[in-house]
Structure 1
Amino acid sequence: MNQNVGLNGDRTIRTVEDVLSLLDGLFAPEADRWTSGGASWWDGFYADRSKPVPFFVAKPDESLVSYLDRGLISPGRALDIGCGPGRNALRLASLGFEVDAVDLSPAAITWAEERAREAGADVRFHCGDAFALTTAELSGPYDLVYDSGCFHHLPPHRRVSYLALLDRVLAPGGHLALTCFAAGGMGSELPDADFYRASGLQGGLAYTPESLRWIFSDFAEVELRRMRDEPAESALFGEDFLWTALFRRPAARR
């Protein structure tokens, strides 16, 4: 958040981050869900591991498994943003990826570390804000940035931070794999400006294929589809109210 408050009176904006922090404040206390102060909210969310939350299951996304099975992505360095209890990070590590996994919640990280120990998986877990992690804390550049459920909980202005993170950590030719709320399936379909008028995110933002293609227009689309709905007995996680998208960052010019 803005560190200049109280130092310079009412003149608190000098940088882009100052503007983003001010806009975060319009969503208080909901802003705690995506800023470094959000640990307590998410810790409460993860406190009861027996809750019937779909993504509490120890199953990887069906889309991730599909990308790997079809050779659309291959082992390398991976960053899992908003890793939760680590279900996708563990699958990546089991297949030879060198994995960093980040989440705001200490409770989620503790749960993920327990699962990793039980599985014998080597994952570097980081508790904190992915946007605030320094290069020294990460082992990138990454061949894969994986996001299953973080993006749709960000307010519109934090897409700026999200794209900046990709620009900073994703290797040329690397992939972004994204799972987010699908318009018509789950999430709010309000226009961006209306979230600021309402001072709330209505539980998360829904996206259309066109909006995702526009936001990530600097990337090449590999695949964009609805997630397959997986039955309870499946070894994979899948809910059809989500989009799954795979984008590739252009290779560096010679």
Structure 2
Amino acid sequence: MMATLALRPIAPEPALPSCPVGPEFDWLLASVQTNRFLPHPPPDSIFVGDGDYRAIGSEFLGHFVRLGRLSPTERVFDIGCGIGRMAVPLTQYLDPERGSYDGVDPVMDGILWCAQTITPAYPRFRFQRLDIAHPLYNPQGSLPGTEVQFGFANGSFDFITMVSVATHLPPDELTVYVNEASRLLAPGGRLFLTAFALDGQSTGQERLKFKRWQDGPGWYAIEEAPLAAAGIDAAFLLETTQNAGLAVSSLSRGHWRGISAAHYQDLLIAIKPERGPERSL
């Protein structure tokens, strides 16, 4: 059961599309963890994130389908795809002829491994590097985070993931990413975004102790590397999402707070309306 942030919704909560799951899907999730024939990078190449590569991939495939209502025939865009942690399990779920996956990331090593290992076996899985500047992951990047544009036409995707991306962005860059996600989503499409969404409700058991970054909506947990674990005001995240033309379906609390929850980071799911609201200027 998801624990939901105690915030007044700023937009009507739309219904998510139906996506029934059952024992067959449970079997699929288990097989993702045990199938030794699935692509798996060398242990010393998993440069982003902690934990078991396959177990985390299986966990998020479950979240995509059960919480985000991802269907096998949809077009997926994975912002911050890393070294394929989300892509590998999706190869077992997306329809090989009607579903598709595109992933982007600023780190070349991960993109090369994915393009050389996953794409030859799954040609509708495509990967590209964008030289986005980031002080931790790509300090010599040529493209400022506030100028990011993804090279796809409006409405190109049905499901966009930003897993552990907002947790490494300052507020102004996060706003750009959410606006791009809205542009790229087709009507009815969903944004699946994880974050540390600070809402002023402390359990006293949080694994991360955030401090506010100056006077803005951003927070940091590691002073010497603020973007290693970046937080954001929940109200700012909700407002940014709405201003981008998306309707928030849910913003649920994660177990990083020391509470019982289905996921570690907080999880925002937002929908591109069939007829989007006008954006705030």
2:245 maps to 1:244? no
CA distance, structure 2, for counterparts of residue 68 and residue 116 of structure 1: 21
Task: State the match for 1:201 in structure 2.
Answer: 226
Deviation at 1:139, TM superposition (A): 9.2
In 2, the alpha carbon distance for the partners of 1:77 and 1:189 equals: 38
Are positions 1:68 and 2:95 aligned together?
A: no
Residue 92 of structure 1 and its aligned partner are, at CA, apart by 2.8
Where does 1:181-220 land on structure 2 (aligned, <5 Å)?
A: 181-183=196-198, 184-186=206-208, 188-191=210-213, 193=215, 201=226, 203-217=228-242, 218-220=245-247
Partner residue, 2:75: 77
Contact 2:182-2:246 at 8 Å conserved across structures: no
Equivalent position of 1:152 in the other structure:
167
Letter in 2 for 1:76: E
Q: Which moved more, 1:48-57 or 1:148-157?
A: 48-57
Instruction: With the length of structure 1 as denominator, give the TM-score of the two structures.
Output: 0.62
- What are the equivalent positions in structure 2 for 1:1-254 lying under 5 Å apart? 48-49=44-45, 53-54=49-50, 57-58=53-54, 59-60=56-57, 62-69=59-66, 72-74=69-71, 75-96=73-94, 97-116=99-118, 120=122, 122-129=124-131, 131-135=148-152, 141-183=156-198, 184-186=206-208, 188-191=210-213, 193=215, 201=226, 203-217=228-242, 218-227=245-254, 240=264, 242-252=265-275
- What residue identity is the alignment partner of 1:220? A
Uncovered stretches (5+) of structure 1, i.e. residues with no partner: 1-45, 230-237
Displacement of 1:54: 1.4
Once the two structures are superposed, residues 88-116 of structure 1 have per-residue CA deviations (whole angstroms, 9 ceiling, x without a partner) of 12333432231110000111112333552
C-alpha distance in 1 between matches for 2:102 and 2:48: 27
Aligned length: 196
Q: 1:188, 1:201 within 8 Å by CA — same for their partners in 2?
A: no
Q: CA RMSD in A?
A: 3.7
d(CA) in 1 for partners of 2:48, 2:67: 31
Q: Secondary structure at the match of 2:81?
A: coil
Structure 2 Cα separation of the partners of residues 109 and 64 of structure 1: 20
The residue identity in structure 1 corresponding to 2:150 is: L
1:159 maps to a residue whose letter is L
**Contact 1:93/1:121 (<8 A) preserved:** no
For 1:214, give the aligned amino acid.
Answer: E
1:36 corresponds in structure 2 to none
